[in-house]
Amino acid sequence: MNSRIENRKNPGIRRSRVGAAAGGLVRGLFLLLVLSLVVFFLARACPGDPLRSWYGDGVDRLSAAQKETMRRNLGLDRSLWMQYGLWLRNLFQGSLGISLKYKRPVTAVLGSVAGNTAILGLLAYVMTFLPAFRIGSSCALKEGSRKDRRLSRIAVVTGNIPSFFLGLLLILFFAVKIRLFPTGGAYSYGMAHSLPDRIWHLVLPCAVLVLEHVGYYGLMVRNLLVEETRKDYVLLHKSQGIPREKILRKYCMKNILPGMIPAMTMAVPHILGGTYVVEMVFGYPGLGTLAFESALYKDFNVLMAVTLLTGALVIFCNMLGEVLSAAIDPRMRDDAADFREVDYE
Amino acid sequence: MNKKKNRLGPGVRLSITLLAVVGIASLLAPLLAPYGPNEMGPAINHAPSADHLFGTDSMGRDLLSRILYGGRASLCIGLMAAAISTGIAMVYGSISGMSRRWVDRGLMGFADLMLSVPQILIVVFLQAVFGKSGYLSLALSIGVTGWMAMARIIRNEVRRIRETDYVTAARMMGGSFGYILRKHLLPGFLPAVLYAAVSSIGAAMMTEATLSFMGLGLPVAEVSWGSLLSDSQNALLSGSWWIILIPGIVLIGTLIAIAALGEQVRKGNTRLHSNL
């Protein structure tokens, strides 16, 4: 309500694109801070000695006095809030502690596998949305046809197969029975830098992720398009003699983008979560495998780091989505919340 | 397109039947199961036969009995988790929807933040904090991580309803928040929530299965459909397809039936005819 009044009062004053982006950045950083707070207190709520989780098993060989000094260094003798502050300071200095299981700094452990997850996740994301747009539009074009009705059914089925099970099925068939693809891993022994080998290992995990999500997003594209075809401009274009396919692919498609971008940003945590599970099933060395192993071994430093990293990535993608939305759709801009009512320039 | 609204389609009827069968069979597991869930027999890795309808696993346990007992855990945890997240979502969404703008923004911002970490990762985190767990703590960690999307739906519905005149009238006459929630908001957003609630049962079951599959769910002695599948690494090696396929099909069948039920609950209100 307030913003509308302000807009009316000063229609000339507009925040610049840069200003809006900076605002988004500040908000993103704030969200990250809250996330780190939640993660920190969750991890501290768990049973176990924080000293051990920070320095590893080496703690056992220390004298009581040494332990006391270390405790003080980590601030464990102070209040939880002070501890959080210290933890945050360490975080900004690039230190997330030692991994209990791997006996290495957490950042090094993370760095060694984050790339693998990025490759798999990104590939799955692209391979999901390219066909999703294609499938959705071809179904919307033939709305009500047998093919169209089949899509929603297939989407319901594929969306309800747990990805770990789909992974198992694919392994059972393609890796065990006909031995076309490897059962897991990111590369064959000693072939870490061979591109064909890596692609060969990526096929099955990626297929699981794509099969899992493509129906759902295809259906989403289809539903948005179908809704779009009810609008009057479609009738106008039709009366102008523009072919149906062109109306759909050129005009309707453009108009559903503002609806699709939030869905595509929401897809990031979904597909990323799926990636983590799939990594686990295929024994693919990535953040997901790392996270689940850390949970089993109660390696909280790693778990915290993976959670924070994931949250940061998703928050960044959300911001990107907002910027994209604002760029293609003026109604989405912060300063034009009441675009329709106020002015058309 | 011109389906009659009041008649249930064959798919929905099939789903209800399937769910009823699965539910009753799990409930009556002790009566129906031919063997105990952890009873080991001499027949190891046997394919389905008359003695063992669904075959046996690598420790000679009867798969049919394990699926029957496992259904109890899976359904029970799914229902509990869905109840927990629906409850949280209703309260949280209503509060957010009824509050002033800045409170609403803060609450929804927090929900969005929780959504920004994949649910499975938070659940795994919580499971690591709780340690090995029983039904309740597992349902709790799935439930408290699965309410965000639903809360947003409810919040949007509440925002819509609170602008209506009858809510204004109720507030004018001094109706308390609880009263308005019960009398006016709840009936208003129930249809939208019902769909989300039903789907959340399926989602919770899937999360439970994934967790148990990874060994982060129920302890080994407790059987669920997910933990049945955690044995699959051995099955892959020995080529015992039934150990993977049969529990999987039961799980997926149930999930699809729940999804179909949810779809039935949701009412389509799109215009019937395309301009295209």
Distance (Å) from the alpha carbon of A54 to chain B's nearest alpha carbon: 16
Given a cut of 90, whether residue A343 has pLDDT beyond it is no
Distance in Å, alpha carbon of B6 to nearest chain A alpha carbon: 20
Q: What is the mean predicted confidence (pLDDT) over B160-165?
A: 81
Q: Quote the pLDDT of residue B201.
A: 92
Alpha helices in chain A (DSSP H): 2-9, 17-44, 50-55, 64-74, 80-92, 106-141, 146-159, 163-170, 195-228, 232-239, 244-246, 253-282, 287-297, 300-328, 339-342
Q: Which of B244, B271, B275 sits opposite A172 (nearest CB)?
A: B244
The alpha carbon dihedral of B251, B87, A217, B270 has a sign of positive
Q: Rank A47-56, A271-280, B152-161 by mean pLDDT and report only the highest.
A: A271-280
pLDDT single digits (tens) A62-119: 777 777 777 776 666 677 788 788 788 888 887 777 777 777 888 888 888 888 899 9
pLDDT band at A55 (very low <50, low <70, confident <90, very high): low
Predicted local distance difference test score (pLDDT) of residue A58: 67
Bigger pLDDT: A44 vs A203: A203
* The pLDDT value given to residue A334: 55
Specify the pLDDT at position A340: 39
CB-CB: which of A156, A277, A314 is closest to B117? A314
Q: Which two tokens stand for residue B177?
A: 């928040």
Whether the pLDDT of residue A7 is over 60: the answer is no
The answer to whether B210 faces chain A, any CB pair under 8 Å, is: yes
Please tell me the distance in Å from A150's CA to the nearest CA on chain B: 13
- Chain A touched by B117 (CB under 8 Å): yes
Asked if this assembly's ipTM is beyond 0.85, the reply is no
Q: Is A312 or A47 the better-scoring residue by pLDDT?
A: A312
Interface of B with A in 245-264 (CB under 8 A): 245, 248, 251-252, 255-256, 258-260, 263
Whether residue A5 has pLDDT greater than 50: no
Nearest CA in chain B to A287: B121
The per-residue pLDDT for A18 is 67
- On whether any CB of chain A is under 8 Å from the CB of B274, the answer is yes
Rounded average pLDDT over A155-171? 87
Distance of CA A5 to the CA centre of its chain: 37
Chain B residue whose CA is closest to A318: B116
Cβ-defined contact of B206 to A42 (cutoff 8 Å):
no
Residue A328: pLDDT band by 50, 70, 90 thresholds? confident
CB contact under 8 A, B259 and A164: no
Please say if the pLDDT value at position A342 is more than 50.
no
pLDDT at A122 > cutoff 90: yes
Contacts of B202 in chain A (CB under 8 A): 160
**Binary contact (B229, A303; C-beta < 8 A):** no
Candidates A164, A179, A251, A282, partner chain B, best to mutate (most B CBs within 10 A): A164
Cβ atoms A93, A77 nearer than 8 A: no
Cross-chain residue pair B248–A229, CB shorter than 8 Å: no
Confidence of residue A56 (pLDDT cuts 50, 70, 90): low
Q: How confident is the model at residue B268 (pLDDT cuts 50, 70, 90)?
A: very low
Q: Is the pLDDT of residue B236 over 60?
A: yes
**CB atoms A168 and B120 under 8 Å:** no
User: For helices B186-214 and B148-162, what crossing angle results, to 10°?
Assistant: 170
- Which residues of chain B lie closer than 8 angstroms to A231, CB-CB? 275
User: What is the Cα–Cα distance from B145 to B137, expressed in whole angstroms?
Assistant: 12
Those of residues 38-97 in A touching chain B at CB distance below 8 A are: 39, 42-43, 45-47
**pLDDT grade, residue A15 (50/70/90)?**
low
- In chain A, the percentage of residues whose pLDDT exceeds 70 is 83
A164 with B209: Cβ contact below 8 A: yes
Chain B residues within 8 A of A318 when measuring between CB atoms = 112, 116
Mean pLDDT of B198-204: 90
> How confident is the model over A129-147, as a mean pLDDT?
89
Residue of chain B with shortest Cα separation from A313? B116
CA B196, B198, B201, B203 torsion-angle sign: negative
pLDDT reading at B82 higher than 90: yes
Mean pLDDT of A135-152: 86
- Best mutation target among A2, A5, A44, A165 (most B Cβ atoms within 10 Å) is A165
Asked if B154 reaches chain A (Cβ–Cβ under 8 Å), the answer is no
Q: State how far the Cα of A120 lies from the Cα of A118, in Å rounded to an integer.
A: 6
Higher-confidence residue: B126 or B9?
B126
Q: Which of A35, A42, A157 lies at the smallest CB-CB distance from B129?
A: A42
pLDDT at A217: 92
Residue A299 reports pLDDT greater than 50: yes
Reported as a pLDDT band with limits 50, 70 and 90, residue A26 is confident
pLDDT at position A46 over 90: no
- Residues 133..162 of A with a Cβ closer than 8 Å to B: which? 141, 143-144, 156-157, 159-162
Cross-strand bridge partners of residue B56: B62
Q: What is the pLDDT of residues A241-292, one digit of tens each?
A: 888 888 888 888 888 888 888 889 889 998 999 999 999 889 888 899 998 8
When pLDDT is averaged across residues B177-184 and rounded to a whole number, the result is 79
* B93-117 pLDDT tens trace: 888 988 888 888 889 888 888 888 8
Asked whether the beta carbons of residue A314 and residue B119 sit closer than 8 angstroms, the reply is: no
Cβ <8 Å between A165 and B248 = yes
SS (H, E, C) chain B: CCCCCCCCCHHHHHHHHHHHHHHHHHHCHHHHCCCCCCCECCCCCCCCCCCCCCCECCCCEEHHHHHHHHHHHHHHHHHHHHHHHHHHHHHHHHHHHHCCHHHHHHHHHHHHHHHCCCHHHHHHHHHHHHCCCCHHHHHHHHHCCCCHHHHHHHHHHHHHHHCCHHHHHHHHCCCCHHHHHHHHHHHHHHHHHHHHHHHHHHHHHHHHHHHHHHCCCCCCCCCCHHHHHCCHHHHHHHCCHHHHHHHHHHHHHHHHHHHHHHHHHCCCCCCCCCCC
Does the CB of B30 have a partner CB in chain A at under 8 Å? no
